[in-house]
Amino acid sequence: MVVTSSGSAMTVEADPSQAESGAGDAGQLEDRRLPTSTLDGWRRFVHADPSIVELLHADRWSELSEAQRRDYDEARIAHHAELVVVTTSAISEITEEGRLLTLMNQREIGARRGLMVSGAAATGKTTAIKQLGRVHELRTRARFPRSDRIPIVYVTCPPKGSPRKLAMEFARFLGLPPVGARQNVTDIADAVCRVLIDARTDLVIVDEIHNLNLQTSAGEDLSDHLKYFTEHLPATFVYAGIDVERSGVFTGTRGRQLAGRCSLIPTGPFPYGDEWRQLVAAMEATLRLHQHRPGALVEQAKYLHARTGGMIGSLAHLTRAAAIRAILSGTEALTQPLLDKVRIDHAAESATRRASSTR
Ligand SMILES: Nc1ncnc2c1ncn2[C@@H]1O[C@H](COP(=O)(O)OP(=O)(O)OP(=O)(O)O)[C@@H](O)[C@H]1O
Ligand SMILES: [Mg+2]
């Protein structure tokens, strides 16, 4: 069986930064778990090769010695533990819009426009903005192969954050020397801005922007500080956060300023339909199981939708966990009884219970 992603409108690519821990390590996962909130970790994420594991021919498979079989199974388990990023319509939209804005903002002298990705928890916001960052970095590297640019900075808005904490997130990403207790926030921010201007950073990604609560004075300070960065850096800012429209990020004078400069792309659960089936097909295409009949998972698309409530994260977990179970148990196929056994997250399980109790 040759497994490819053809036949689906979606493409697949491994996101090694999200490999689950505890999976069989075939030597490929260990150095890929660095957090992407440091330059080193981010670069490894950008340049990591997708996991490639080919299924052995049935004859070769049956001839494996015990030790060979163990190594082969470990490599397949590691492969299934890695997240495969499916290019969903939201990801396409975010990467296209992000590219357009970076191109337009290069020539912009006044207020630059940004992008806001907003949706419920676990709807793929972080995955999407990291894909945008990755595509942008690879494109910049291809264009300027020998430069020491840092095209992207990826930071997370700190919870109950202060401007100092935010500036330190930037400094941490860049690996600037530890900040002394007496160094004030403007000094840190200035140092960060200098490095980013020298490194020609043109995309700044700020995740978890819902932590910015403009109703509190700490949140207001943080937002002023973010504004300082946007005004001092010739870069496009991309934000992602949970239900940003309702979280207070866009309210008040500061919020309205931000809203006036940002395009908003929503993320959410998938309705049951073509794109859902394509998503299931793309995930099925990455399976490396000996007894799995191609197409059998797509036939379960409706069941999978009912189990996961259309949530991409729950689907990714369910298929990956079931594939690993199929290898460990020797069944080598994703059948409904096996899928039934896999626990998903609390949110999806309770949504399924609610749906079945109202039936
Ligand atoms: N494009 C994708 N392809 C495959 N799996 C995906 C994709 N997007 C998201 N996932 C899965 O969904 C999970 C949750 O995604 P992600 O962390 O990006 O969501 P989020 O919206 O940022 O969540 P939170 O609100 O909790 O920060 C991921 O760990 C991954 O398993
Ligand atoms: Mg996230």
Q: Express each pLDDT in 1-32 by its tens digit.
A: 222 233 333 444 445 444 433 333 444 455 45
* 310 vs 257: which has the higher pLDDT: 310
Alpha-carbon gap, residue 132 to 114, rounded angstroms: 13
pLDDT over 70, % of the chain: 87
Ranges 25-39, 174-188, 196-210: which has the least confidence: 25-39
What architecture is the 89-267 domain classified under in CATH? 3-Layer(aba) Sandwich (3.40)
Does residue 316 have its Cβ closer than 6 Å to ligand 1?
yes
Render pLDDT for 285-297 as a digit per residue (tens, 0 to 9): 999 999 999 999 9
Render pLDDT for 241-273 as a digit per residue (tens, 0 to 9): 999 888 777 777 777 887 888 999 999 999 999
Centroid of ligand 1 to alpha carbon of 123 (angstroms): 6
Q: What is the pLDDT of residue 3?
A: 29
The number of beta carbons lying within 10 Å of the beta carbon of residue 194 is: 11
| Ligand nearest to the backbone CA of 269 | 1
Tell me the pLDDT band of 356, cut-offs 50, 70 and 90.
low
Render pLDDT for 30-46 as a digit per residue (tens, 0 to 9): 545 678 989 999 999 99
Is residue 294 classed exposed, middle or buried when 0-12, 13-18 and 19+ CB atoms within 10 A define those classes?
middle
The answer to whether the beta carbons of residues 156 and 212 sit under 8 Å apart is no
Residue whose token pair is 């049956």: 62
Q: Determine the atom of ligand 1 nearest the C-alpha atom of 316.
A: 31
Render pLDDT for 141-158 as a digit per residue (tens, 0 to 9): 999 998 889 999 999 988
Does residue 126 have its Cβ closer than 6 Å to ligand 1?
yes
Select from 84, 94, 116, 127 the residue to mutate for testing ligand 1; criterion: most ligand atoms less than 8 Å from CB.
127
